[in-house]
Amino acid sequence: MALPFTFPSAFFITATDTDVGKTFVSAILAVGLQAHYWKPIQCGAEPCTDTEWIQNNTHLTSDHFFPEAYLFKEPASPHLAAGLENIEINIETIKMPDKKQWQYLIVEGAGGLMVPINNSLFVIDLIKHLNLPTLIVARSTLGTINHTVLTIEKLREKGIAIMGVVMNGPKNPNNRLAIETYGKVCVLAEIEPIETINANSLKQIFVTQFPGNSYRSIRSDKLEPSAFTSL
């Protein structure tokens, strides 16, 4: 039975690894929801930041984007990039943008959950600090079952609500089924490679992958209990 799904007003996007497609998926959801976007920690500014890439490819106006809390030159793990500039990231200084400024807010992480942001904390601690439900972006290819199920289990250990998984890459029905079965979570979308990325192609992906913002057919006992209502 297909179950209704409403995007939370604010949510965090993480991934099973770096370069899996967090920013690409963030762009799809930003243009589809006309959402605001925020990347609290950005490591690497050349040729552009993730914020600039999304703005360039969605054509959303500048007021849809919030500045980074921390912006570092080196494209490296946050703890290393910050250290190279003699800075230590303090998550207590990372505050959610004023709710009056947005209807939907997408918050994108840096790398995966266990990427260190300082000597004692990781990206998963930032998610917990911001108190946001989380969407997982995963590869569709070989190795994704292990990476995705580990990510799911780590979020559950921290008591973080999981919205579901978006698989990025060529369709792989066996990997999708395995993630849903062993992870006990919904695969919300399977996004295949596209030749051209622009506002129109991103919007088309949103329309086809999230029709009516509703879940695919899946047993209800596989759903996370608390992630599916607006914050």
> Which neighbouring-strand residues pair with 191?
168
**Cα gap 163→173, rounded to integer Å:** 20
Ramachandran assignment for 169, one of left (phi > 0), alpha (psi -120 to 50 degrees), beta (any other): left
State the DSSP H helix or E strand holding residue 27, giving kind and residue range, or none if neither: helix 22-33
> Which neighbouring-strand residues pair with 12?
107, 134
From 39, 73, 128, 158, active-site residue: 39
**Cα gap 212→6, rounded to integer Å:** 9
**Cα gap 61→158, rounded to integer Å:** 35
**Is 128 labeled as catalytic in the residue annotation?**
no
> Which neighbouring-strand residues pair with 6?
none
Tell me the catalytic residues.
39
